[in-house]
Chain A
Amino acid sequence: MIYDTLTTLKTLDAQAQIGLLFLGLFGGLSLVSAGTALYALREQTAADVRGLRRFVADLRAVWIGAVVFWLAWITGASGATFLFAVISFLALREFVTLMQTRRADHRSLALAFFIVLPVQYVLAARQEFDLFTVFIPVYVFLAIPVLSALGGDPLRFLERNAKIQWGVMVCVFGLSHAPALLLLQFPNAHDRGPFLVFFLVIVTVAAQIFEEIASRRLPRRPVARAIDRSFGLRAWFVANLGAAVVGGLMFWITPFKLPQAMVMAFIAGGAGTLGEFVMTALKRDAGVNYWGNSRAITGAVGLLDRVAALCFAAPVFFHSVRWYFQLKN
């Protein structure tokens, strides 16, 4: 029954499908916002107010994300690439702020921001996916430590370089795979790129939400208490099964068949939630409990928190799709 409906949806043309998607997205968001506004009118305890404020901040982030997404859709591939490049820039700026860097790293950082970042996105836009894939892991991997060494400061050299490399990998390399997806050409399904990005974003967000719910409902068995008290393997697995179901429900917008869509959703969701977990470890190291506590620590603005999952999910998803379908460009 559901399957029939979804298969019918698959036969619609791209315009009708995108219309449906945005109707669903903005309609749903409007409903949630209206509900929140009504809820805020009720009498509340201080704890409720704090929770509500957090929720409203998250909701606003989702709204911004949805609008950015819609802008990316109407401006086409080049607009979307530019938008993701800007997000990359802001995320890397936040990342570098929170890391201890030294004077001698100045040139490497300038290289990362003003050369590596634009080149990576230009490569994505020009669909040069072979160079796109190796540019950062191969060439930049060498260039950054060379520049740092020329800076002439041996103190904590490996550590400093590792931080910059890692920041570039996550904030630039990882995130640049989202617009790259837009440009992926499938042999028998044209213009599926934007739908794949939509699929990826929804599935990663769904995995995060399910994980939040699952870790509250299921008995907690944290695997790394010092890093995250709520991260447990069972909750993680359940959350990604949830993401797989969401992915399955959206299979009609993708070039995938139903089981393929579910597996891809599981992979993307899993990579995203694990990425978020890794970011939590990083935050603990930098002394931040929540990226958003900007008043206590310079640099914690909260953007990185929100794109972290996507930074990890996008490259894994992109390369899984490319490998599985044997896509050449």
Chain B
Amino acid sequence: MTAADALGFVLAAVARLITGAQGHWKGVPPKAEQRIYFANHQSHLDWVLIWATLPSDLRQQTRPIAARDYWTTTPLKHWLTREVFRAVYVERERKEGKIDPLAPLAAALEQGDSLVIFPEGTRSAKGLPQEFKSGLFHLARRFPHVQLIPAWIDNVQRVMPKGEVVPVPILCTVTFGAPCNLQPAETKTAFLARAREAVVALKPGGVAA
């Protein structure tokens, strides 16, 4: 076991202890198929939670997206995202029409890896997710054989609100829904709206503030 594997194991255990990390597979079973999971984004912990929820064989082939300008600045951050999570790096600053910003994601999908993406692009602490960015649509069109799985992450924003350092133990769930692939002749706007609704529809009842 390498240091990265060990750290991954510890992180998943801590995530379980603090949040319970319960995965509810409502629409699909947790199978090792190639998938793009897309979810609401409320906290930095979102990725760790989804990752801790996945069974360990799926964990190895499921990768997050990380902004290169933030996650490669220090050796530690770089090592964490590269070795532990095997992140796919993307450029946040779009250089004038030079390269396709989705190229690294496409490369990962061509290798057969699964991805977790947060199509809102940014964290939204207030209730329902914002409008989805178009990246999801382009990936859906280019990789029709990859299943698109909506997921709702519940309660994470209560575990560690912005600006706090100590997480508070509060149970969180990730609810995975049925695949939401691109329909023939579906427009971009219609697809993105449908994808967002698919995520929102998975929100559990109760008191999640």
Contacts and interface: CB of A to CB of B under 8 A. Distances in A.
Query: Do A and B bind?
Result: yes
Given A93-B20, A298-B154, A298-B155, A100 B205 contact: no
Interface stretch (A65-73, A108-116, A195-203, A271-279): A108-116
A299 B171 contact: yes
B96 interface: no
Nearest to B160: A106
Given A93-B20, A101-B158, A298 B208 contact: yes
Interface residues of A, number: 29
B169 A89 contact: yes
Contact of B166 (A100, A103, A114, A297): A114
B169 A113 contact: yes
A109 B18 CA distance: 13
A301 interface: yes
Interface in A266-323: 286-288, 294-301
Interface string B163-196: 0101011111100000000000000000000000
Contact of B206 (A98, A109, A110): A98
Given A294-B22, A298-B208, A96 B161 contact: no
A99 B207 contact: yes
A96 B208 CA distance: 11
Nearest to B165: A110
Given A97-B171, A298-B172, A110 B207 contact: no
B127 interface: no
B174 to A, nearest CB: 10
A45 to B, nearest CB: 27
B154 A101 contact: no
A73 B151 CA distance: 43
Q: Determine the interface band of chain B, counting residues with CB < 8 A from chain A.
A: 20 to 34
Nearest to A89: B169
A299 B161 contact: no
B209 A101 contact: yes
A57 B57 CA distance: 28
Contacts, number: 68
Contacts of B144: none
A287 B168 contact: no
A94 interface: yes
A94 to B, nearest CB: 6
Given A94-B171, A96-B169, A296 B206 contact: yes
A216 interface: no
Contacts of B204: 295-298
Contacts of A54: none
A102 interface: yes
A300 B24 CA distance: 13
A45 B128 CA distance: 42
Contact of A109 (B26, B168, B208): B168
A297 B175 CA distance: 11
Contact of A96 (B170, B173, B205): B170
A298 B208 CA distance: 8
Interface string A103-139: 1001101100110000000000000000000000000
26 contacts: A93-B171, A94-B171, A96-B170, A97-B171, A98-B206, A99-B207, A100-B207, A100-B209, A101-B209, A107-B164, A110-B168, A113-B169, A286-B207, A287-B206, A295-B204, A296-B204, A296-B206, A297-B204, A297-B205, A297-B206, A298-B155, A298-B171, A298-B172, A298-B208, A299-B155, A301-B20
Q: Which 9 pairs of residues, A with B, have the shortest CB-CB distance? A: A297-B206, A97-B171, A109-B168, A93-B169, A299-B171, A298-B154, A110-B166, A298-B173, A103-B161
